[in-house]
Amino acid sequence: MYFTEEHDSFRKSFRDFLQKEVVPHIEKWEETGTIDRFIWEKFGEMGYFGLHQPEEYGGLDLDLFYTVIFLEELQRINSGGFAAAMWAHAYLAMTHLKKEGDDRIKREYLAPSIEGKKIGCLCITEPFGGSDVAGMRTTAVKDGDNYVINGSKTFITNGVYSDYLIVAAKTNPEDKHKGMSIFLVDRDTKGVSSTKLNKLGWRASDTGEIAFDNVVIPKENLMGEEGMGFPYIMQHFALERLIMGVNAHARAEYAVEYAIQYMDEREAFGRKINKFQALRHSVAEMASKVDMCKEYNYSITKRLNDGIYVVKEASMSKLLSTKIADEVIYDALQLLGGYGYMEDYPLARMFRDSRLGPIGGGTSEILKEIIAKMVIDKKEYKPAT
């Protein structure tokens, strides 16, 4: 219904690519917290960063189900950090380049991002604001032909090793969320500094806290219209939340598959543990939850691909899929007994990595309030024009 033979062929080739080019390096990257630059260019050479980008700048302009496959297969190699680094570049930073960047920005930043020669990050969350985007304190003050940026951001994926930053800042603080704008900042601009954060999971990715101390950028680095930053961010949140929903169902599905494989190999009391009713019923419930999430997420992907604004549905996807992924991975780990607690088995890392799901990209508590406004108060969110 959702995937064609071409999709299936892409899935196989991408899975093979990951096994050959990425998996041999995962343990090193998990230990060092640094992903070697060569892999970004390999992704670029294969066109993986251009799946949903315009052909004019080197992209492939494919439907969103190629993106779903990209996300699902990244989860199967069991490094939430590596997966996050890839999709944060391709679907957070590059989405703003694609939607709000002018031709110069697209030629100088989007095209090399598609090639994997430049790495981007998206800087929205702040140390004092968390999920409260409208409460942003970072400012961008116009000074002649320049803007001067001051403030800080935190929990930024690719925040340390990226080449450029897409930064949200207040250009008119008195207007609250209506006074926000989006800017492009080069990493080597004077006054930009970053600190690497030490995380529970997602160990392979570099998550940073970034400071902007009188950072001067040309006015041409304003992306889109001044004062339109908030609606730009909000309309892209639908894709980000759906991405995190897809990631969740994919890692949960992999956890179930691994648990089933383990149960078929493990024996207790003279028989394989997949013959014990309590464990079989646990797997049945886990598989049912995952399948429900997956089918819902596919249907929302189709609607988004058709141009429908799915902010409510994408919020629901992230809210429930990430919660269910945590529950399923918790239960899958239990099925392995003591081995589930060992770092030599994949469930320990998956357990840690999955916990970020209900936090990143808008906490579950924030999503509940957004959904409540739409369901109870009949509030309507519309895309930026």
Tell me if residue 100 is catalytic.
no
Cβ–Cβ contacts within 10 Å for residue 351, how many?
Answer: 18
Among 103, 100, 96, 99, CA closest to 57: 103
Among 54, 69, 53, 72, CA closest to 2: 69
Cβ–Cβ contacts within 10 Å for residue 382, how many?
Answer: 10
In the block, which residue shows the tokens 């992230």? 318
Burial of 258 (C-beta count, 10 Å sphere; 0-12/13-18/19+)? buried
Rounded Cα distance, 179 and 197, in Å: 29
* Active-site choice (115, 240, 253, 313): 240
Rounded Cα distance, 31 and 81, in Å: 11
Q: What is the DSSP letter of 60?
A: -
Q: Are 120 and 164 in contact (CB under 8 A)?
A: yes
* β 164-170/120-123 pair status: parallel
Task: List, in order, residues 6 or more apart from 315 with CB less than 8 Å away.
Answer: 238, 241, 362, 367, 370, 371
Compute and round to an integer the Cα radius of gyration of the chain: 21
Count of alpha carbons within 13 angstroms of residue 185, beta-carbon side: 33
DSSP state string for 170-222: ESSGGGGGGGEEEEEEETTSTTEEEEE---SS-TTS-EEEEEEEEEEEEGGGE
Among 243, 113, 236, 200, CA closest to 165: 113
Task: List, in order, residues 6 or more apart from 280 with CB less than 8 Å away.
Answer: 274
Task: List, in order, residues 6 or more apart from 37 with CB less than 8 Å away.
Answer: none
3 state DSSP class of 266: coil
Residues with catalytic roles:
240
